[in-house]
Amino acid sequence: MISKVLSSSLVGIDGFIVDVEADLGRGLPAFDIVGLPDSAVKESKERVRTAIKNSGIEFPVKRITINLAPANIRKEGVYFDLPIALAILMCIDEIPSESIKDTVVVGELSLDGTIKPVNGVLSIIHSAKEQNYKKCIVPADNAQEAALVEEMEVIGADTLSNLISHLKKPSITPTKVDIAKLFSIRSSDFLDFSDVKGQENVKRAFEIAAAGMHNLIMVGPPGSGKTMMARRLPSILPDLTFEESIEITKIHSVAGLLKNNTSLITERPFRSPHHTISNSAMVGGGRIPRPGEVSLAHNGVLFLDELPEFQRNVLEELRQPLEDNEVTISRVNGTMTFPSNLMLVASCNPCPCGFHGYSDKCRCTENEINRYIGKISGPLLDRIDIQCEAAAVNYNDLAYSAKAESSAQIRERVVKAHKIQQRRYKDEPIYFNSQLSSSQVDKYCVLGNAERNMLKTAFEKFSLSMRAYHKILKIARTIADLDASEIINVRHVAEAIQLRNLDRQHII
Ligand SMILES: [Zn+2]
């Protein structure tokens, strides 16, 4: 007798349907799995056999063949334990075949029959829904996550024996989640910009960066509060849309990073990997490819503290994800892509010791300084719109300044500027000013004569490169949006030129 159970596995962050077929034949007792299984899938034989026995059912003494179709895609991970067990139980009439018809089943079994959670359930069930499947059985711990997919009946099962009883006579209530309620939960433990006294120019640069989702680098000596300010950036970022929230949750689910009880990520991620990070941890990879930091920061911020300390090859690898907003990973059995639409924020000392230009303590040679800054120049710096300086903290700022503006006040302006961009680009495939292509810059960043002359003078005075030209226009567009001005005026252009600090100092 042959039975069939639907299951699924992952390629990148997309699920694909797998048919799990079981055949129980006569002959010497055996248990084989065919259809390109990886070692984790092959090991499922022992888990399935023991879990069935420990659920009080005699394991059939037959020649058992399990086939995973389609046979041309490698099956990875532990998703198939539960569907394999159900396919065998169906063959020996322990469960009625009608009970799991058109139902997608995933789950790992432990030896005692407990159904353990697996990674990537949101992606798997989301893809199943796109192929018109409407019912699924998932580990109880993944049920909330699966229930985010609308119009999907989700049965969350905790043990094999409970699931068997349910399939004979329904006893488990389908899991439902209140998406609107989940989506409205916001963290309140953000660090606040009101803690930062002084550094008004850097705070303003952050506000502009957040408003147009521009990449930003800040240069300054140690102790100027660069890291402190970067960590406050999430507090002024605009809300996620529901679609963005699902995209982020899928990536974190595939990476196995969803914390218990958080089935939906409702805040923009802020990732700050250490400078010793490897290539594959940064951009993604591994034998079973996992998303890297650039994808975990999708729709949010990737903060690289002390940028020149990162390995040069890691920084070079960042180029493609920043350019394409996605990462492509090649493997023997095909390629896969992970999204990486992020805002890059980096900090950097002006020289290896950190004090060049700020204190006579610096003994770094010109060569050392060039080598240090040289690590970030070129292609990576090309992707960064805003360059600002975080000067040493002024005593007067600390001692006498009034209470600084709160994050909520700054965020209000950012949100308004976002709305203006959403309206302006409703017919374009972009959301923010930072995403403007050069032809779109010509269309949306029109200058008057006075503004054009000012830009021309700046170019001559500071010998700016042509690549700086479009960046200044995009930043000026965002500054005008923060001002709720449709027209880009002289003040906007002047401030935008100020935000190309490194260009003006000829550090690069
Ligand atoms: Zn130095």
Asked if residue 379 lies in contact with residue 366, where contact means CB atoms within 8 angstroms, the answer is no
Whole-number Å distance, alpha carbon 353 to ligand 1 midpoint, is 4
Closest by CA to 391, choosing from 233, 200, 252, 260, is 200
Per-residue pLDDT reduced to its tens digit, 399-434: 666 678 999 999 999 999 999 999 999 999 888 999
Per-residue pLDDT reduced to its tens digit, 237-266: 998 888 889 999 999 988 888 876 667 888
Whole-number Å distance, alpha carbon 355 to ligand 1 midpoint, is 5
Question: How large is the average pLDDT for residues 483-502?
Answer: 92
CATH 3.40.50.300 given to domain 193-427: yes
The CA–CA distances, whole Å, from 149 to 7, 11, 108, 175, 326 equal: 17, 19, 21, 11, 24
Whole-number Å distance, alpha carbon 303 to ligand 1 midpoint, is 23
Q: CB within 8 A of 318, min separation 6: which ones?
A: 282, 283, 294, 344, 380
Q: φ, ψ for residue 483 (rounded to 5)?
A: -90, 0
Question: How large is the average pLDDT for residues 466-473?
Answer: 86
- Residue 221: pLDDT over 60: yes
pLDDT at 357: 82
Whole-number Å distance, alpha carbon 395 to ligand 1 midpoint, is 22
Per-residue pLDDT reduced to its tens digit, 80-90: 999 999 999 99
Task: Note the Cα 166 to chain centre separation in Å.
Answer: 37
Whole-number Å distance, alpha carbon 215 to ligand 1 midpoint, is 26
Q: What is the pTM of this model?
A: 0.86
Domain ranges of the chain: 2-177, 193-427, 436-508
CATH 2.60.40.10 given to domain 2-177: no
Per-residue pLDDT reduced to its tens digit, 285-338: 887 788 999 999 999 999 999 999 999 889 988 988 988 899 988 876 678 899
Burial of 427 (0-12, 13-18, 19+ CB in 10 A): exposed
Whole-number Å distance, alpha carbon 271 to ligand 1 midpoint, is 28
DSSP annotation of 65: E
Whole-number Å distance, alpha carbon 465 to ligand 1 midpoint, is 27
pLDDT at 185: 74
Whole-number Å distance, alpha carbon 9 to ligand 1 midpoint, is 52
Whole-number Å distance, alpha carbon 207 to ligand 1 midpoint, is 30
Helices (H), 235-287: 242-254, 279-283
Whole-number Å distance, alpha carbon 109 to ligand 1 midpoint, is 58
Whole-number Å distance, alpha carbon 350 to ligand 1 midpoint, is 7
